[in-house]
Chain A
Amino acid sequence: MIAGSNLEKVINSGNFVVTGELGPPKSSEITQLKHHAEEMKNHVDAYNITDNQTAIVRTSSIACGSTLIQMGLEPIIQITVRDRNRICIQSDVLGAHALGMKNILCLAGDHQSFGNEPGSKGVYDIDSMQLLKGLKDMRDENRFMGGDELEAPISYYLGAVENPFADPFEYRVDRLEKKINAGASFIQTQCIFDLDRFEKWMELVRERGLHKKAAIMGGVTPIKSLGAARYMKNNVSGITIPDELIDRLKGAEKKKVEGLNICIETIQRLQEIEGVAGVHIMAIAWEEIVPEIVERSGLYPRPKV
């Protein structure tokens, strides 16, 4: 056991782990976020809290994480390297730890030009790999990135993201390995719509035994409408949606029902793929559907560990 978070315990127990996602609002009114957290609290093992997702200014991930802890729930704090240099990131990590947060997900973040402050200066002092390695060393070697010692030890469970649908495809597994070597204990993937490509990727993952070194969680998103699918296909960087899937939605009478079916089928297939340790459900703007997804995927009740 590294940090003793619920996420870590469920992963270690060998149960298929389920995480949800909460997107902080563009205000400091977080009643809605708390409400969504309540809604799915019996259905997920921990919640990702996004860090100014798609470069749009929102309440900070750590502030919302602190609220979740007060509610007795478990956050996974996302940290991007877009907005903070190594001084600020390490300071925030110390703060998050002081407030009881035990899971950190390291990522690069969408470029600032996509968001609502396109004129801002991107920081990118370090990259997501260096972030992982730096936080691992802070925890395991008790030293900051600059070499200075921490005055007291710190502990957290570290994760990373990987996108099996980005290019170059062959390199995506090398990169996963690199992230695991840098310190990732769990991996959440980009939304899976192209299961064939994902399975091909998992095959390469298994060949190298990487699924034994880190918990690989497949990312899924329920699609609400044809418009949403098209939007994601064309506008969200790093997401690929096969035409067959678009056609299936097109042909369906009730798009919402079909979108949900697709998501549940994906989770069921994920459970059958050797080496997949869990699912990460990103139902942003459709949070209330998470309990149904989890139940219909046969993942309810969640284990008490």
Chain B
Amino acid sequence: MIIAERKPLEEIAAMAAPYKKICVLGCNTCVGICMAGGEKEAAETASLLRIHRNKENQEGEVDVFSIERQCEVEFIDEVLERLQGYDLIVSLACGVGVQSMIEHVPTLRVVPGLNTTSMGYPTEQGVWAERCLGCGDCVLHMPMGICPITRCAKSILNGPCGGSAEGKCELGDDIDCAWQLIHDRLSSFSRLSDLTEIQPPKDWSTSHHGGPRTTVREDVRIDRGE
């Protein structure tokens, strides 16, 4: 899932300051599950924003509602009418949702209420860990399911580097060394010899470094012209 965190209220309030009719729009899928931008957080953000604006003597109103996914046109279409008439939408979706909103409804002014951090999953209540950078050429078979591109601070393919100590990354004790994890996992499957092979440089052209990516599936495309 996509993981995000709400921006500091002051930052949201500053973006909203020049506007009168404001809507805080939640998104109930990924960011709802990671408790950053779902229905509950949207209501909370709206009321905090109202209090803040009252204190600052800013006129206007702050409404709030949520949709299932801001990244899918079907769900945006359902609330199209409701969205009209607002000067500003504070989107509590990830960065993808914000962009999908303005692409589908170009007349809307939408600002981000969240900072999108990563793709990952919760490892315990209240902790979400990054697990994939979407490199476009998954190599997870080699490190037996632990992504060194994402989880090693230097994206090393022939690790671990000289900074790995007691299972932790040189960046700090709160980060596991991905290569220690890979080493241990290979070891538990008696496959340490896999590490002997020199992994060649990665072809980054399938990743964002090759330019913005669009995935086209001709077999499932619908010709909208007919």
Q: Chain A: residues with CB nearer than 8 A to chain B?
A: 81-82, 86, 108, 110-111, 113, 122, 124-130, 133-134, 145, 161-163, 166-168, 171, 174-175, 177-178, 181-182, 190, 237-238, 240
Contact = CB atoms under 8 A, between A and B. Distances in A.
A174 B196 contact: yes
A130 B159 contact: no
B200 interface: yes
Given A82-B154, A167-B180, A178-B196, A125 B201 contact: yes
Contacts of A122: 153-154
Given A111-B153, A145-B201, A130 B158 contact: yes
B198 A133 contact: yes
Nearest to A164: B162
Contact of B165 (A111, A113, A125, A237): A237
Nearest to A240: B165
Interface in B195-210: 195-196, 198-202, 204
Given A111-B153, A178-B198, A129 B158 contact: yes
A167 B156 contact: no
B126 interface: no
Contacts of A240: 165
A126 B201 contact: yes
A127 B177 CA distance: 16
Contacts of A81: 154
A-B pairs with lowest CB-CB distance, top 3: A163-B162, A129-B158, A237-B170
A145 B202 CA distance: 11
A111 B198 CA distance: 22
A111 B154 contact: yes
Given A108-B161, A163-B162, A130 B199 contact: yes
A238 B163 contact: yes
B143 to A, nearest CB: 13
Contact of A181 (B157, B198, B202): B198
B196 A161 contact: no
Contacts of A133: 198, 200
Interface string B50-76: 000000000000000000000000000
Contacts of A163: 162-163
26 contacts: A108-B162, A110-B163, A111-B153, A111-B154, A111-B163, A124-B154, A124-B156, A127-B155, A127-B161, A128-B158, A129-B198, A130-B158, A130-B198, A130-B199, A130-B200, A130-B201, A133-B200, A145-B201, A163-B162, A166-B164, A167-B180, A168-B180, A174-B195, A178-B196, A237-B162, A238-B163
B167 interface: yes
A127 B170 contact: no
A288 to B, nearest CB: 28
A88 B199 CA distance: 21
Interface residues of B, number: 30
B198 A166 contact: no
B36 to A, nearest CB: 24
Given A108-B154, A111-B154, A171-B160, A238 B170 contact: yes
A178 B199 CA distance: 11
Interface in B167-196: 167, 170-171, 177, 180, 183-184, 192, 195-196
Q: Which of A122, A128, A129, A133 gathers most chain B CB within 10 Å?
A: A129
Given A110-B170, A182-B198, A238 B162 contact: yes
A167 B167 contact: yes
Contacts of B200: 130, 133
Contact of B156 (A127, A134, A174): A127
B219 interface: no
A162 B158 contact: no
Contact of B183 (A86, A125, A168, A177): A168
Contacts of A145: 201
A85 B155 CA distance: 13
B166 interface: yes
Contacts of B154: 81-82, 108, 111, 122, 124, 127
Contacts of B164: 166-168
A114 to B, nearest CB: 8
Contacts of B177: 167
Q: Which of A81, A82, A110, A166 gathers most chain B CB within 10 Å?
A: A166
B148 to A, nearest CB: 9
B165 A166 contact: yes
Nearest to B204: A125
Given A178-B158, A238-B163, 16 more contacts: A108-B156, A108-B161, A108-B162, A124-B156, A125-B201, A127-B159, A128-B161, A130-B157, A130-B198, A130-B200, A168-B184, A178-B195, A237-B163, A237-B165, A238-B170, A240-B165
